[in-house]
Amino acid sequence: MTPHLLNVYNRADPLFERGDGSWLFTREGDAYLDCVGGIATNALGHAHPALVAALTGQAQKLWHISNMFRVAGQERLADALTAASFADRVFFANSGTEAIECALKMARRYHFVRGAPERTMIYGFAGAFHGRSYAAINAAGNPAYVEGFGDRLPGYATLDLGDVKAIASAIAASTTAAVIIEPVQGEGGARDVPRALLRLIRGLCRRHGVLLIYDEVQAGMGRTGRLFAHQWHRGIEPDIMAVAKALGCGFPVGACLATAEAASGMAPGTHGSTFGGNPLAMAVANAAFDIIAAPETLAHVRDVAQLLRSGLESLRRNYPAIIRDIRGRGLLIGVALHPNNRAFVAVAREQKLLLAAGGDNIVRLLPALNISAADAGEALRRFEASCIAMQVEAAA
């Protein structure tokens, strides 16, 4: 491995050359079953023909023109995203972090133009992950990610999901601008936030004029078996929402969605991006949207998630010394372990099964939304083989 890459990742060894559906292949021809999916990103697997056609077709016509001009693909996708959600307005960015950045700026700006510039406080939740920019690490407040980067930014504080009293008083405060929450926490441990808590937060935000931001960068775009994770809960909609990852299925693109009311502070000049929503990104994202939003894709996610979950539950019964708990929603699956999760990921890799580690000692299965039942069954077999190998290692 070259020493010339900035040393911020613990990269695993296989050097992948090619992907096909739920499988990744090394130069030597070894096949790995991919249940990482680029961290919930390759939602239609690798080299999906419709996405390849969209990207290569657009590449021959027009790559980039800047947001000084109309971009037809943005208009099409904004119409589709708003028709399928609570939102009226969409801003296209290049990543989840940038979608979050837009959401946070929008929330403060909303209060500013209403004559309440003192409303700047943004409350996030322990265990959240919103990205790596200064604003994103401060909004999530994970001590490991803010350490060493100077003073905490003013106007951010972290709440505990279990502390209803603190949540209520934070939202009631006259300086509060917004609350940001992942309806299903991804990196933090595949925690599905209880409906009652989301409902409480929604109600309190409405009562006190505070904007509610959902981070659906990981849980959105079909991952849970609904187009957006919060759509499992009728009537608990946000004012602003960030999506990314599966939006471009591996092509870098993010989006910040908002109601017309929440977006009303954003005027020309208040925000922007050179690359955000360029024709290449939009060609792929539109093609991906058409497939992911189709009812049969979402029904498949629910079916295959059920298959994986019931398989994992029976593994939990058979390997209680290895598996603690099964969490998450849909195909955002967290398996909480007794042994070290990173050691388990390495053991699974020896079984040619790719898993992602996460907070609270979980491993995540984040397969393609279109993973076949046969490949899901194979993932379970390899997961079981990993449990056995882990037990053997522990006994040795």
Q: Using CB under 6 A, list all residues that contact ligand PLP.
A: 39, 95-97, 100, 129-131, 182, 186-187, 215, 217-218, 244
Tokens of 374: 């046969």
- For 329, phi and psi rounded to 5 degrees? -150, 140
CA-to-CA dists, residue 78 to 72, 277, 378, angstroms: 10, 10, 38
Q: Which of 361, 278, 309, 353 is nearest to 37 (CA)?
A: 353
Nearer to ligand PLP, 218 or 361 (CB): 218
Q: Cβ of residue 97: shortest distance to ligand PLP, in angstroms?
A: 3
Nearer to ligand PLP, 95 or 386 (CB): 95
Q: Cβ of residue 41: shortest distance to ligand PLP, in angstroms?
A: 8
Q: Cβ of residue 57: shortest distance to ligand PLP, in angstroms?
A: 25
Nearer to ligand PLP, 142 or 218 (CB): 218
Nearer to ligand PLP, 129 or 319 (CB): 129
Q: Cβ of residue 303: shortest distance to ligand PLP, in angstroms?
A: 24
Tokens of 108: 């403060």
Nearest-angstrom CA–CA distance, 222 and 86 = 16
Q: Which of 127, 130, 172, 49 is nearest to 327 (CA)?
A: 127
The 10 Å Cβ neighbour count of residue 10 is 7
CB 291 within 8 A of CB 44: yes
Q: Within the chain, where are the H helices?
A: 37-40, 49-59, 72-83, 96-113, 134-140, 143-146, 164-172, 195-208, 279-292, 295-318, 341-350, 373-395
Q: Cβ of residue 224: shortest distance to ligand PLP, in angstroms?
A: 13
Q: Cβ of residue 269: shortest distance to ligand PLP, in angstroms?
A: 24
Q: Cβ of residue 188: shortest distance to ligand PLP, in angstroms?
A: 9
Nearer to ligand PLP, 217 or 288 (CB): 217
CB 90 within 8 A of CB 256: yes
Among all residues, whose Cβ is closest to ligand PLP?
96
Q: Which of 240, 108, 112 is nearest to 177 (CA)?
A: 108
Q: Cβ of residue 271: shortest distance to ligand PLP, in angstroms?
A: 16
Measured over the CA atoms of residue 115, residue 117, residue 118 and residue 124, the dihedral's sign is positive
Q: Which residue bears the tokens 């194979």?
A: 378
Nearer to ligand PLP, 39 or 146 (CB): 39
What is the strand order of the sheet 254-258 is part of? 89-93, 254-258, 240-243, 211-215, 176-181, 121-125, 156-159
Nearer to ligand PLP, 182 or 384 (CB): 182
Nearer to ligand PLP, 189 or 311 (CB): 189
Nearer to ligand PLP, 103 or 305 (CB): 103
Q: Cβ of residue 242: shortest distance to ligand PLP, in angstroms?
A: 7
Nearer to ligand PLP, 256 or 263 (CB): 256
Nearest-angstrom CA–CA distance, 227 and 293 = 6
Nearest-angstrom CA–CA distance, 185 and 128 = 6
Q: Cβ of residue 100: shortest distance to ligand PLP, in angstroms?
A: 6
